[in-house]
């Protein structure tokens, strides 16, 4: 695939007035030098060696240092190269937040390959699409999810499988205990048998590391325009697309977020900072803010494999003085409503940053009352690596905005004809900056729909910018549903549901939900009168990961349609609350 990088566009495109710069907090520059590193690998290697003796992550009571991440990723990277993987080939990673994940991402990048992050809770259908679309030649997967891979692997290009176990990097005795408990007591590893035909290899993670230590990692010349990540996101067509993030994109966003956060984080002093990594690393929010910026600043990541276990999360938090807590509104709200959480020590918590979904005022006020640290809302997308805006970290009051464009970022509000609108008028939020993706993987048609000739990414969100540069989201142009910070696209839901025998047609919409912000509501017109809600629920459980599954199902005799037969989702949204 030939990719045209938009890196030069900001240098040649018309300038944009930047009223927001006058409202930046002290110490935050208007621009960052994104050319200071040739690649993300160079940035990470400098960070690992600078902070070699510090803990990079702690998980279930075991820690791994930056020096160990450096050493282990070099070994695993050498192993990948020895398997014939060359620069630009894609390697998928499918696991929750574990030290193995941090090593795997680093190894793939150092081998010159492209990381394809996969939600470990994907169904076989969803996994198959992502592996086939990306053309991944290898996958590093937690054994708990190998049974899903088994179903689809023969229809993909995957030649090499690296199997991780939960306790692989938790120390010998603790690791053995954790693995025994996960496999035999909790029975969290369904039986699987990965086929070994067609030259396919299946290797245990620790064995790959052991073999890699006897090899040498061959340096790969990487440039800013080489691809680092494929971050899959939904599409209005129902087909999940890979946002192609170059090394320059990710380096830029690390430096941009560092510039924004560092003046506040410096208030803690010279001690090592601790960041809570409860957001999944396969999500671009945690990937950049926790892993990448964490490495840059030498922070300790508290890796939380299962953030749904709120009592377990609170116990972990109680063992540390935390300084930074990125999360979505759902998690902030869940914790703020637990009495045990209010008893923790928040004396060194200086940043609570919310993203992925709108932060609700009631949640923000409750969090501030308990912790003394305001929730600062920001905004971004997979296509922007992800951060594009953020509120000032020194604000105490809830602003109901997504804040100001961060350094080296321009935002304009445009109408449907692409004309810039003055402050106070609602239009599409359009973003330009070095963090904006290269395009969608092998989808030039979809890229053309969202990239303007002058280099702005059309977000699909409708917003208003005030005279200071603060942006507020008021609506969505797309029909996207935002469930706990994850995008759910109605067309994907409908296309799959319409394959269920007994369904004539369907429509999916988002409805307000106190816990997740929005939930999926599904409307169905039956073809078979015997079809019932249990049938649909079982089918959805088989075909969708949890956050995509409809929470509400309603059968109707017909669906509202336009005069040309298009289903009017907006009428379903406005006329039928959950």
CATH number at residue 519: 3.30.300.30
Residue 2's pLDDT is: 36
Q: Strands 404-405 and 387-390: what pairing?
A: antiparallel
Burial 178-192 (b: 16+ CB within 10 A, else e): bbeebbeeeeebeee
pTM: 0.87
Q: Report if residue 1 sits inside a domain.
A: no
Give mean pLDDT in consecutive 10-residue pieces for the chain, a chain of 578 residues. 40 74 96 96 98 98 97 98 98 98 98 97 94 98 98 97 96 94 96 91 98 98 98 70 98 98 91 96 96 98 95 97 93 92 97 85 91 95 97 90 97 94 94 98 95 96 94 79 87 87 90 91 94 96 94 94 69 70
Q: Are strands 300-303 and 439-440 parallel, antiparallel or unpaired?
A: unpaired
How far is 248 from 358, CA to CA, in rounded Å? 28
Distance CA 74, CA 217 (A): 6
Phi, psi of 566 (to 5 degrees): -80, 130
Q: Is 529 exposed, middle or buried (0-12, 13-18, 19+ CB in 10 A)?
A: exposed
Rounded to whole angstroms, how far apart are CA atoms 6 and 467? Answer: 28
Distance CA 507, CA 328 (A): 27
Parent domain of 131: 63-222
Could you write out the three-class secondary structure of 308-320? CCHHHHHHHHCCC
Q: Is residue 134 part of a domain?
A: yes
Assigned domain for 161 exists: yes
* CA 407/CA 33 separation, integer angstroms: 10
Cα(363)–Cα(267) distance, rounded to whole angstroms? 25
Boundary residue ending a domain (175, 192, 222): 222
Total residues found in the chain within this entry: 578
In a domain, 104, yes or no: yes
- Picking from 285, 242, 238, the residue whose alpha carbon sits closest to that of residue 479 is 238
Q: What is the domain count for the chain? A: 2
Give the per-residue pLDDT at 238: 59
CA angle 119, 120, 126 (to 5 degrees): 60
Within a domain: 37:
no
**Chosen domain end from 222, 251, 271:** 222
**3-state secondary structure string across 71-139:** HHHHHHHHHHHHCCCCCCCEEEEECCCCHHHHHHHHHHHHCCCEEEECCCCCCHHHHHHHHHHHCCCEE
Q: Could you tell me if residue 167 is inside a domain?
A: yes
pLDDT, tens digit (0-9, with 9 covering 90-100), for 445-463: 999 999 999 999 999 998 9
The CATH number assigned to the domain holding 145 equals: 3.40.50.980
CA-closest candidate to residue 555, choices 535, 575, 530, 532: 532
pLDDT of the residue at 17: 84
Quick check: is 129 in a domain? yes
Please identify, among 171, 196, 222, the residue that sits at the C-terminal boundary of a domain.
222
In a domain, 284, yes or no: no
């Amino acid at each position: 695939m030939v990719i045209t990088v938009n890196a030069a566009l900001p240098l040649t495109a018309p300038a944009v007035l930047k009223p927001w710069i006058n409202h930046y907090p002290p110490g935050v520059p208007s621009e960052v030098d994104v050319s200071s590193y040739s690649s993300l690998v160079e940035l990470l290697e400098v960070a690992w060696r600078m902070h070699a003796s510090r803990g990079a992550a702690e998980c279930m009571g075991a820690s791994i240092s930056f020096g160990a991440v450096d050493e282990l990723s070099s070994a695993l990277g050498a192993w990948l190269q020895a398997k014939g993987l060359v620069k630009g080939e894609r390697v998928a990673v499918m696991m929750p937040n574990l030290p193995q994940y941090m090593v795997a991402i680093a190894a793939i990048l150092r081998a010159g390959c492209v990381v394809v992050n996969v939600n470990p809770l994907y169904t076989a259908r969803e996994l198959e699409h992502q592996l086939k679309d990306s053309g991944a030649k290898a996958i590093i997967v937690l054994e708990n999810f190998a049974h899903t891979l088994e179903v689809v692997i023969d229809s993909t290009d995957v030649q090499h499988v690296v199997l991780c176990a939960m306790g692989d990097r938790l120390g010998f005795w603790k690791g053995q205990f954790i693995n025994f408990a996960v496999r035999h007591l909790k029975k969290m590893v369904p039986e699987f048998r990965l086929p070994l035909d067609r030259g396919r290899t299946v290797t245990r993670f620790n064995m790959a590391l052991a073999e890699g230590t006897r090899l040498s990692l061959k340096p790969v010349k990487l440039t800013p325009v080489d691809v680092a990540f494929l971050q899959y996101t939904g599409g209005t067509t129902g087909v999940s697309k890979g946002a192609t993030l170059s090394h320059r994109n990710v380096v830029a966003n690390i430096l941009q977020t560092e510039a924004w956060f560092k003046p506040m984080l410096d208030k803690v002093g010279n001690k090592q900072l601790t960041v809570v990594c409860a957001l999944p690393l396969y999500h671009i929010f945690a990937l950049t803010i926790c892993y990448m910026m964490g490495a840059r600043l030498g922070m300790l990541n508290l890796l939380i494999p299962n953030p749904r276990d709120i009592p377990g999360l609170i116990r972990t938090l109680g063992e540390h003085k935390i300084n930074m807590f990125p999360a979505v509104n759902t998690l902030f709200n869940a914790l703020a409503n637990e009495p045990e959480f209010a008893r923790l020590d928040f004396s060194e918590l200086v940043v609570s940053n919310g993203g992925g979904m709108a932060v609700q005022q009631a949640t923000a006020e409750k969090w501030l009352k308990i912790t003394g640290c305001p929730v600062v809302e920001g905004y971004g997308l997979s296509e922007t690596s992800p951060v594009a805006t953020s509120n000032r970290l020194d604000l105490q009051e809830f602003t109901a905005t997504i804040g100001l464009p961060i350094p080296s970022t321009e935002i304009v509000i445009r109408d449907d004809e692409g004309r810039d609108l003055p402050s106070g008028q609602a239009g599409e939020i359009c973003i330009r900056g070095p963090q904006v993706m290269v395009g969608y993987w092998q989808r030039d048609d979809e890229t053309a729909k969202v990239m303007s000739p002058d280099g702005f990414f059309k977000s699909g969100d409708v917003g208003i910018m005030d005279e200071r540069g603060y942006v507020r989201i008021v609506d969505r142009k797309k029909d996207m549903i935002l469930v706990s910070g994850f995008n759910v696209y109605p067309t994907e839901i409908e296309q799959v549901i319409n394959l269920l025998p007994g369904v004539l047609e369907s429509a999916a919409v988002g409805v307000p939900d106190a816990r997740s912000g929005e939930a999926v509501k599904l409307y169905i017109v039956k073809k078979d009168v015997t079809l019932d809600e249990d049938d649909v629920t079982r089918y959805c459980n088989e075909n969708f990961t949890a956050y995509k599954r409809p929470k509400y199902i309603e059968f109707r005799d017909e669906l509202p349609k336009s005069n040309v037969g298009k289903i009017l989702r907006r009428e379903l949204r406005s006329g039928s609350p959950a």
